[in-house]
Amino acid sequence: MNKPKIYLGTIALEKNRWSSRIPSFLVSKWVPKIKAAGFDGLELWENHVIVSPDEAETLKESGFPVAIYNHYGTFSNSLDDVDMRKRAVKWINFMGVGAVKFNVGNDPALLNQYRNNVQRMADAIDGVMLCECHANTLLEFNDDIVAFFKDLCPKKFQLMVHPFIEPNLLDEKFEMFGSRLTHIHSQLTSDSGERICLDRWPERVNACFDVMKKHGFAGNFTVEFTELTATPGENIDDLFANTVRDLKFIRGAF
């Protein structure tokens, strides 16, 4: 089995991710530490580049891969959504990003609109479209995904999964979607609802790894969130240390 690539999701370090959404740090300043820790590249939170226009050029010049662009549009025809997609395509192509993480909206009446716009973005970039299939969207993991992607090339349109759930439920997802599942968003939540490092619940994590291996998973990982995410007083140094703990745990299994 080839070693998977493991990326750092820059949203993991961003304390303003769910509040002001204004970046609190420059990703480019952290690239040397992220690279030295052993990460293979970045999953770039969209606001980390659009709020600071020079960041795209600085990140490109660093030579450290921006592997995934974390896009937050819903793929509707609203003016804001159209502008977001145009801006995203610009940065994706400029930085040579290999994949786009996306979700669609939750209005059933707009399903065809979402699908058409996802296809248009795919045609405008060289990379892969990675659907996160997030809760409260039309493409939350269910049969609707099968219909949405049925006629779309599996090499271009793929899925990511948050795997650390009940192993039997993860097994069902792999049974349903198979080789389209090519990327893992790593985050682990305790029974009390707090995000924790993977090494705090090895039985759950390793059971899910076993399911992935059973299905021949050969994709990559992003450490999306980690312990201390969204806790009072969270700080970037402690968050980064915990992402490195999770990186090492994943490396130990794959």
3-state secondary structure the chain: CCCCCEEEEHHHHCCCCCCCCCCCCCHHHHHHHHHHHCCCEEEEECHHHHCCCHHHHHHHHHCCCEEEEECCCCCCCCHHHHHHHHHHHHHHHHHCCCEEEECCCCCHHHHHHHHHHHHHHHHHCCCEEEECCCCCCCCCCCHHHHHHHCCCCCCCEEEEECCCCCHHHHHHHHHHHHHHEEEEEECEECCCCCEECHHHCHHHHHHHHHHHHHCCCCCEEEECCCCCCCCCCCCHHHHHHHHHHHHHHHHHHC
Strands 188-189 and 195-196: antiparallel
Least confident of 52-56, 99-103, 204-208, 244-248: 52-56
Percent of the chain with pLDDT over 70: 100
Q: How confident is the model at residue 1 (pLDDT cuts 50, 70, 90)?
A: low
Q: Which CATH class is domain 6-253?
A: alpha beta
pLDDT in tens, 66-75: 999 999 999 9
Q: Report the mean per-residue pLDDT for the chain.
A: 95
Can you give the pLDDT at residue 143?
Answer: 75
What pTM, to 2 d.p., does this model score? 0.96
The gap from C-alpha 212 to its chain's centroid, in whole angstroms, comes to: 17
pLDDT, mean of residues 47-60: 89
Task: Give which of 214, 208, 171 is closest to 188, Cα–Cα.
Answer: 208
Any idea which residue has 């690539």 for tokens? 5
Task: Quickly state the pLDDT bin for 23 (edges 50, 70, 90).
Answer: very high
Q: CA–CA separation, 20 vs 37, rounded Å?
A: 29
Q: Each residue of 130-171: pLDDT tens digit?
A: 999 998 999 987 777 888 998 999 999 999 999 999 999 999
